[in-house]
Each structure stands twice: as structure tokens, then as C-alpha cells.
Structure 1
Amino acid sequence: MAHSLIKNSIKSINPKFLSTLSAHRIVRRFGSAAAADEEQSSSFTFSSEGDSIQLKSPSAARRKLSSSVTMPISFMTGSIVGKRFYKEVKTKEADDGNGWTVMLDYRTLKTPAKRPLKLPTVALAKAIAAEWDYQQIDGIRPFTMPLMRLACTALERVPVTRPKIIEHLVKKFNQDLVFCRAPDDNELASLVYERQVDKIDPLLHWLESEFGFKPVVYSSFFGGKQEDGLVMAIEKLLKKTDDCELAAIDAIAASAQSLTIAIALVHGRLQIEEAIELIRLEEDLQVDRWGLVEGGHDIDIADIRVQISSPVVFLGLSRNM
């Protein structure tokens, strides 16, 4: 059931969402130098020098030993990392037959930690290849490559820092967006309160039925405290996740300010549009009352669509859904 709901959510997404600018718009000065002729070199590596990222060809002694492209750590920060240096993007089954890789011309793509970008399914590999193929001549823009970023997170960050990720998510659970209820003491606040009761209470009922503990709602900006049993049940669920699932949950929770929404999305309780409606509930009420600010609200809406849709798509593709 959960898998079919995720699959339906993926089908409902406009593909343009994944090429929309994300929230990580970092303005810095970066330079890029093209590498040597392809006939002279079969690999490229990136190196940082000051405020620039330079693309260098390897020494003559190493030319025959490498045929890969290693992305710099700055790829994970959203910076423009250099000009497009490849013409063709394709996928290839990993040499050991375990997974799929992305090829930029004849070079195998590697992660910032210089490991082959080995993906679990051909569907995910093709989607990431499409992100690379989308890049323009003047620069490679990581903020238009959300699936690539999530793949690097699942392959490198999650296996190493899994306990810390779970600890952080559990710590933030008490301040979850869906537990915070507006006061019912004035006209504007009462409108928010009524909408929260209508839209959020069904999700809280699901949380109670799923984990056996009734969530506590509160009106304090400083948050409240959930029952230890509910917190422990959530922590137990997180510990059972695989690396791709935990990466997706962590990404959604950070954007939604809600671990509950993240878990509900991954488990098929919420569709993507329903999740976005809950995240933007109060702001959308303000827009309805005072009007939409062009260049502000519309960009925020597009951005949250990318931040929420990308992990759901990533997780579905990693499971061949």
C-alpha cells in the first residue's frame, strides 16, 4: 500500500520541479579552467585554490590509471563548480555487476569522497544522468541536481553519521510543526486554528494509531514534550531504515520542519501536495487574506516543491517503483 502511494505521488509530479532553483542559492566567485584534450587524458579531478574551482588533467604517469570524474566537496554546498566539460551522459552497469554508474563521456562519475557513484537501480542512474545532461555550457549548478545530492548523502554521509542523524531527528521531534497549535483568541489566529484542526488532526490520529501513543499539541513557541513511548517508537523506526530511506526522511524533515510529515510521506500516508499544504498552511492563509507577493511567495512555493518532491522521487527510484 505504502509503495503504491509513493509510486502515485511520483507520477503526479511535474518534471520541471526537479530543475527548479532550490533554497541553496549561494553567490560566490568561481573560476574554471578546461582540462587537456581528451586524446591526451582519460580522467579529470577537481581541486580548490582560493575562491576558485579548477579542472585539471592528471600527470602523464597517471593518465592510464584513471578514467573517472571526482566531484569536489563544494558540490554539496550548492556552489557553481565549473564549466561543462563533457558532451555525452549515459549510464552503465557497475564493473562488479552490483549497481549502476553514470558516465560523462567515457569517464565514470565519482562522489566528493572519490568513490564511484554506484546506484542501486538503473532508474535512479538514468534520472541522475538526466540532471547532468541538463547542465549548461557556462557552468555546472548543483542546486539543479537534487537527486545527485541525495545520492551522495545516502552513499557517504548516512553510513558514517547514521547515529548522529537519528539523534538529531529525535531531538527535534518534540518541536515538530504538526504539534504546534495556534491560539484561538483572535480572528486571525482562530482561522489558523480551525485550518489546523481540519488538516492536521487526521495526521495526528494516524500517528496515534500507527505508534500507539496520542501526540501532545501545544501553543508555545518553545515546543512541548511528547510521551517517551512515542519518542522511542519513532527512534526505533528510524533505526530500521536503510541508507536511502534515512537520507530521504532527513531531507524532508529539514525542509518541512516536521519528522511526522517526513515519515508519513515515506510510508504513503501523505501525498506530496498534501504534505506541502500542511507545511504552508499558515502562510497560505496569509496569502489568501493579503495576496501573493510575486518574486517572493511564488519562489518559496516552487522551492518547497523541489525540497519535498526530490526525496520522495529519489526513494521511489532507488526501489524501482
Structure 2
Amino acid sequence: MRDYLESLEQDAAKDPEQRARELSRRELPKRFYKEATAAPVEGGYAIHLDGRPVKTPGKSTLVLPGEALANAVAAEWQAQEKVINPGAMPLTRIANSAQDAVSQRFAEVADEITRFCGTDALCYRADEPETLVARQTELWDPVLRWAEALLGGRFELVAGLIHREQPEALLKAYRARLEDVSPLRLAALHTATSIAGSALLALAVTEREVSVDDAWTMAHVEEDFNVERWGEDAEASAIRAYKRTEFEAAALILRS
């Protein structure tokens, strides 16, 4: 099977829009199988294409920890039509990244997510107009209060874009919570954090403190405010839809 799925190292510096454009320019492999199914194997479930296991780019058999998640990955493969488009297979890409890359570079990925927490979007507030300030306060403050109670400290809020360091003890507490998660969940957390711009929202989704829909809304407060005022063009709408699919895939893994 061809190595056409990207690892986390290659993806880390790219946003979903950039990945989608790059994937669309590639010559995609043709679909060569009739049926994709989940099959029990040692350690979990593999994805079989006409009885042959899917391999990661690193050439190991892709193994998912649970049947429901494996069925969802198999459904991605089954949904492919004439060609196999990795851009439409976010669960598969995250699982491949977890198995090939995150498992080998766990600490590095966990540190990167923690750095996001240090510049978390929920801490950077608009100073005007008042309606946007009020909306951010209403939606973001409850998540911040929850995170502060969980992590044992107070986050510093910033009006505007001037950087302010967050308390080191808070960041250490956040980093400590990542130690016991699986590489698959860490990869999903990285994806959710990158898309939302918020490690706190990603954690809140993981802990079921907020719903996936509410987290998505919270991550796009300013964007939605501007759309209400100025409207949204077709390209921006398509990019947002793509990012939503990626976010939902990450959330499915985080909650599985």
C-alpha cells in the first residue's frame, strides 16, 4: 500500500486549509478494494480491505483500541469512491500519526500542546466592540473557571494581542494531565487544540465539560461575530466546513 498519509511531524506546521490544498494537488490512488471492515486483532481492531490489513505509512498494521472507533475508521475507507482521498479521512490520518509519530515523540507533542495553553485563545479578549466583549465573557469565562478549578490556579486575561506569560504552575498542571493519555488521544488533542486555538477547549471536550458543538461555537466567537456583520464568502465557508470535520474526528477519538 502506498505511503500517501502524512505523519504528525509533517502536519504540525500546517493548518487544515493548507493540508486540504496540498492533498487536492496530489495524484490520488485508485480504490482497489470492495469492502472495508473492522476485525479484532491482538491489542484492538485492525481495518481490513477485502481481508488485508491497512498499514500505516510506517508499515505497521493500523490498530484501533475499540470496536466503535475502528468501525468509524472502516467507514471512512468504505466511503471512498473511485480514488482514496486522505483529505476526507481525518480519523485515519490521526490514527496513523499517533501510531507512527506520537508514540515515538510523545513528550514533544505534549509539550507543544502545553505551549498552546500558555497562549490560549480564551485568555486573549477583544477590547471592543462591547457586544463582542460580552459574548466572549459569556461563553469563555465558564470554561476558564472550570479549567482553573481543575488545574489549581488563575489564568491571566489579556485585552488585545500583547503576549502575557501564564503562571508556570498552571502550565505544569496542564502538562501533567497529558502524561497518562494514549498516543492516539494525544494526537487527537493536538488536532483539536490546533483547530480551536485553545488547549483548554480541547481539554474541556475530552473531559465532557462542554459539548462538541458548544466548543466549536466558543472557538469561533470572533469569526461568527464578523460573519454576522459582514457576511461570509464561499471559500471561507468551505474551509470552515473542512475544519469542522477535522475537529469532530478528533473529538470522537477524545471521547471514545
TM-score by structure 1 length?
0.70
**1:134 Cα deviation after fit:** 0.9
Q: Structure 1 counterpart of 2:206, which letter?
A: V
Please, what is the CA RMSD of the aligned residues? 1.9
SS at match of 2:156: coil
Matches within 5 A, 1:12-31: 23=17, 24-27=19-22
Are 1:169 and 2:113 matched, yes or no?
yes
SS at match of 2:203: helix
Alignment match of 1:255 (pick from 195, 202, 219): 195
Are 1:304 and 2:243 matched, yes or no?
yes
Partner of 2:66: 121
CA distance in 2 between counterparts of 1:310 and 1:145 reads 9
Are 1:289 and 2:225 matched, yes or no?
no
Higher-helix-fraction structure: 2
Contact persistence 1:174–1:223 (CA under 8 A): no
Are 1:158 and 2:102 matched, yes or no?
yes
- Percentage identity across aligned positions? 28
Are 1:107 and 2:52 matched, yes or no?
yes
Contact persistence 1:89–1:103 (CA under 8 A): yes
**1:176 Cα deviation after fit:** 0.9
Gaps of 5+ in 1: 1-21, 31-78
Gaps of 5+ in 2: 1-15
* Residues 140-192 of structure 1, C-alpha deviations (whole Å, 9 max, x = no match): 100111111111122221110111111212223221100001114xxxx3222
Partner of 1:205: 145
**1:244 Cα deviation after fit:** 2.2
Contact persistence 2:139–2:218 (CA under 8 A): yes
CA distance in 2 between counterparts of 1:242 and 1:141 reads 27
Contact persistence 1:135–1:141 (CA under 8 A): yes
CA distance in 1 between counterparts of 2:160 and 2:67 reads 47
Q: Structure 1 counterpart of 2:190, which letter?
A: D
Contact persistence 1:265–1:275 (CA under 8 A): yes
Q: Structure 1 counterpart of 2:69, which letter?
A: L
Partner of 2:39: 92
Are 1:145 and 2:89 matched, yes or no?
yes
CA distance in 1 between counterparts of 2:107 and 2:147 reads 23
Q: Structure 2 counterpart of 1:81, which letter?
A: L
Partner of 1:238: 178
Partner of 1:194: 134
Q: Which has the larger radius of gyration?
A: 1
Q: 1:203 to 1:149 in 2, by over 3 A?
A: same
CA distance in 1 between counterparts of 2:38 and 2:136 reads 45
TM-score by structure 2 length?
0.87
CA distance in 1 between counterparts of 2:61 and 2:39 reads 12
**1:118 Cα deviation after fit:** 1.6
The number of residue pairs the alignment matches comes to 240
Contact persistence 1:276–1:304 (CA under 8 A): no
Matches within 5 A, 1:44-123: 79-94=26-41, 97-123=42-68
CA distance in 2 between counterparts of 1:81 and 1:301 reads 23
* Residues 45-88 of structure 1, C-alpha deviations (whole Å, 9 max, x = no match): xxxxxxxxxxxxxxxxxxxxxxxxxxxxxxxxxx4531111122
**1:200 Cα deviation after fit:** 0.8
Structure 1 segments of 4+ aligned residues over 4 angstroms from their partners: 27-30
SS at match of 1:216: coil
Partner of 1:11: none
